[in-house]
Structure 1
Amino acid sequence: MSVPTSAVKVRPRVWIGLAIWLSYAVVVFVVQQLSGVPYTEFGRDGGTLFLGAGLSLIVGAALLAITTSLLGWWRPALFDRAHSVRWPIFVPAIMVVALLINLAATDWGSYDAAFFGASLVLLLVGFTEEMATRGLLLVGLRSRLHEGWVWFLSSALFALMHLTNAITGQELGLTLTQVGMAFLGGTVFYILRRTTGTLIWAMVLHGLWDFSTFAVGHGEPGPLAALGGTVNLIAGLLGLAVVAFVIRGAKERVTS
C-alpha cells in the first residue's frame, strides 16, 4: 500500500529526509559542545549526564516535534500501512534480554537522585534518534527508493551519527566499533518497526537500551555486565540474517 500525499502537508522527498537527519546531528553536536562536557565524562554524575546528553535530547526532541508537525508527517513517520511477517520479532526480543542483563548487572547502590533523574532524560533518545532516522528520514527515503535501500541507508546514517563521539573525546577505534554496533542496532529497530507496523515500540526499546547502557556503566558493574553486550551483538547479527524477510513485499511509498 501507499500513503497518499493528501495525508501530509509537505510531499516527502529524499532531500528533506536527509536535511532533517543532518540538521538533527548538527544540533545535537553543537549543544553537546557548548555544554563543555566530553563524551567520555557523560556518565560521571547527574550534572555531566544532563548537560552532556540530556540537554541536547530535550532541544532535539522539541525541534523534531515542530518539524514533524510543520511537514504533517506524524502518521507516516510513526506508522506503516501494513506490518511485515511477524516471526523476525524474535530479534528485538533478544535485545530485550540483553537490556535486562544490563539492568541486572547495574550497581544501583551507586545511584543518587540527580543521576537517576538525568538517566530518565536519556529515555528521550528513543524518540529523537528514532524519529530522525527510522521516522522522518525513512519517510523521505521511501518517497523514491526501494525498501531495501530504505533499511540500509536509515541504519547506516543512524550509525554514522555516532562518529561525532570521536570529536568529543572518545577514542577513534572505540568510536568505529560503536558505529558498527549502531548499524546492527539500527537494523534491530527497523525489524521491530516492520514487524509491529509502528515506530513507537522501537522508540521504547531504543530509549530503554540507552538507559541500560549508561546504568551498567555507572559504579561497579556486576559479573554479568559483559554478557549483555555479547547478547546484543548476537541480536544484531541475527538481524542482518533475517532483515530481508521484513523488507520483502513492503509497499510503503508515499505517492503523488
Structure 2
Amino acid sequence: MQAVESSVQQEQQSKWRQFWDRGGWWKALLVAAVYYGLYQLAGFLIGLAFGDAIDKHDVLANGLSVFIAIAASILVGSILLVLFALSIGWLKELFARQPIRGSWWMWIGVAIVVVFNILRFASVDYAGWDAGAVVAVLFTGLCVGFAEEVLTRGFAVNLLRRGGYGERSVMLLSSLIFAAMHSGNVLSGQNPIAVAFTVVYTFAFGIVMYVTLRVTGNLIWPILLHASTDPSLILLTGGVDASSGTLHPGPLAGIAGLANYAVMIFAIIPIIFVRGRVDRADAYGLVEPAAKLA
C-alpha cells in the first residue's frame, strides 16, 4: 500500500514539474500574480498580528517598525519562492551559470547602478536615522532584491526561455511583469502620476537587471545590485517617493538624484541591441518548436 502511495506521489510530482518545465509566457505571469497575491496576504496577516509594533506616524522610525511594516511580508514571499523552486527542482538551476553570454557594453548598465548607489549611500544623512532602522532598511533591501530578482530574472526569464522566446522578448516580457507588479502601489494610496513614473522606471530597471544577469552570468549579481538600490534610495530620501524634510542629504545628493533618468536612458540600448536565443535542447533538454516569437 505504501509503495502504491509513493508511486502516485512521484507521478504527481513528475507531472507538476513537467508542467513548469515546458515554460510559457502565461506561466511566468501566473507565478508573478500568485506571488503578488500571497505577498499581499502575508502583509495583511502580519499587520493584523503585529500591527501594534508599527509606528503609525513614521514606519521608518525604528528597526522593528520597518521590519513588521515592510520586510516581514517580503521575507515570507522569499521563502515561498524558495519552496516553489524546490518543488519543481529548479533551485540549483536558477543560480546556475547562465546558458547565454552577455556583451561587453552590458557592463555599462551595471556600472551606472553601482556608481549611483554609491553616491546615494555617500549622501545619506545617517545622523537623522535610528541605527536599528538603518539595519532594518538594509535587510529589507536584501529581501526585496532576492524576492523580485528570483521571481522576474529567475522564474520569469527561465519560463520564457523554456517557452522558446528570443532574448529580446525574454528581456521585455520579464521587465513588463516586473513593472506591472509595481503598478499595485496605486492601491496603497500613492499618487497615480508617481506610480506611473515608477512603472516606467521599474521597466527600465528590469531591463538593466536582465543585462546584469546576462553579463555577470549568475542570478546572485542582479540580486545584490537590486538589494543595494532600494535601501540607498530610502535612506537618502526617508522614503521611496519624496525627500523627507527632517533629513539633510550630502552635497552629492543632487548628482545621485539623476540615477533614475540614467537608468531609463541606458535601457534604450538593450532594447535596440539585445539579440540571441537560448538553445532549449542544450540548456533544458527540450525540443525546439517550429516557430516562436523572436
Give the shorter-chain TM-score range.
0.7 to 0.9
- Superposed, which structure 2 residues align to 1:1-256 within 5 Å? 9-10=17-18, 11-14=21-24, 15-34=26-45, 35=47, 42-78=59-95, 79-122=97-140, 123-144=142-163, 145-218=165-238, 219-245=247-273, 247-251=274-278, 253=280, 254=284, 255-256=286-287
Q: Which residue of 2 aligns with 1:3?
A: none
CA RMSD of aligned residues (A): 2.5
SS at match of 2:42: helix
Q: Is the 8 A contact 1:162 1:178 kept in 2?
A: yes
1:114-134 superposed Cα distances (whole Å, 9 cap, x missing partner):
202311321111110000111
Cα displacement (A) at 1:185: 0.6
- Are residues 252 and 191 of structure 1, via their aligned partners in 2, closer, same or farther at CA, if it must alter by over 3 Å? farther
- Structure number with the bigger relative contact order (C-alpha 8 A, sep ≥ 6) is 1
Letter in 2 for 1:85: S
User: For structure 1, which segment, 210-219 or 99-108, has the greater mean C-alpha deviation from structure 2 after superposition?
Assistant: 210-219
Q: Deviation string for 1:134-160 (max 9, x for gaps)?
A: 101111111222222111110011011
Alpha-carbon distance between aligned partners in 2 of 1:52 and 1:99, rounded to the nearest angstrom: 24
Q: Residue 27 of structure 2 contacts residue 159 of structure 2 at CA under 8 Å; is this kept in 1?
A: yes
Q: Distance in 2 between matches of 1:174 and 1:82?
A: 36
Q: CA deviation at 1:243?
A: 4.4
Q: Which has the larger radius of gyration?
A: 2
CA separation in 2, counterparts of 1:70 and 1:204? 25
Question: Cα–Cα, structure 1 residues 225 and 45, in superposed 2: closer, same or farther, change >3 Å?
Answer: farther
Q: Deviations over 1:189-244 (max 9, x none)?
A: 00011111111110000001111111112333234324223134213311321344
Task: Check the 8 A contact 1:126/1:203 in 2, yes or no.
Answer: yes
Q: Counterparts of 1:149 and 1:135 in 2: how far apart (Å)?
A: 15
Inter-CA distance 89–187: structure 2 relative to 1 (3 Å threshold):
same
Relative to the length of structure 1, the TM-score reads 0.87
TM (norm. structure 2) is 0.77
CA displacement, residues 43-72 of structure 1 (integer Å, 9 cap, x when unaligned): 344333212210111101110010011111
Residue 86 of structure 1 deviates from its aligned partner by 2.5
Q: d(CA) in 1 for partners of 2:87 and 2:278?
A: 25
Change (3 A) 1:163 1:137: same
In structure 2, runs of 5+ residues without a counterpart are: 1-13, 239-246, 288-294
Structure 1 unmatched runs, 5+: 1-5
Q: Cα distance 1:174–1:27, how it changes in 2: closer, same or farther (>3 A)? A: same
